[in-house]
Amino acid sequence: MNERKLFYLFGFIMFLIFSANLILMLQNKDFSLSVLVWLGLSYMFFVIGYIQPQTLNNDERSKYIKRKTLSDSMIIVIILILILTMLTQITNFSFSLVESLTLFVFLSTFTIFTMWIVNVKRN
């Protein structure tokens, strides 16, 4: 139970950092996608805190959830790479490499940990 509270605490700290960065960016009227990394980390810690008791045991259910999440997330991340590649090649979106990687890291983190929640709820 203490580990779960620790993950929630880290998630709250990351959310505070995200909020402070967002407020500073809005005050300076200079928005960057780098703020999404902090939001992704915050989401990650909250999800780990939520699913940690269900995946702590090394039983068959836990192994199945981990395997299913890995396979589902891999497919979705590959589709995400294809979509981002097509967006940068076909349309007039002009992201720098850092912005593209930041967006990819945020979307993949959000996708992977959302898949964790979905698989824990289903099984």
Number of folded domains that form the chain: 1
- Are 37 and 105 in contact by the 8 Å Cβ rule? The answer is yes
Amino acid 39: pLDDT? 93
Residues in the chain predicted with pLDDT less than 70, given as ranges, are: 1
Amino acid 30: pLDDT? 84
Amino acid 47: pLDDT? 94
Amino acid 1: pLDDT? 63
- Are 105 and 40 in contact by the 8 Å Cβ rule? The answer is yes
Amino acid 122: pLDDT? 87
Sequence-ordered list of residues with C-beta below 8 angstroms from that of 79, at least 6 positions apart, any chain: none
**Domain range spanning residue 72?**
2-122
Q: What is the mean pLDDT of the chain?
A: 88
Q: How far is residue 44's CA from residue 26's CA, in Å, rounded to a whole number?
A: 24
pTM recorded for the entire structure: 0.84
Amino acid 12: pLDDT? 96
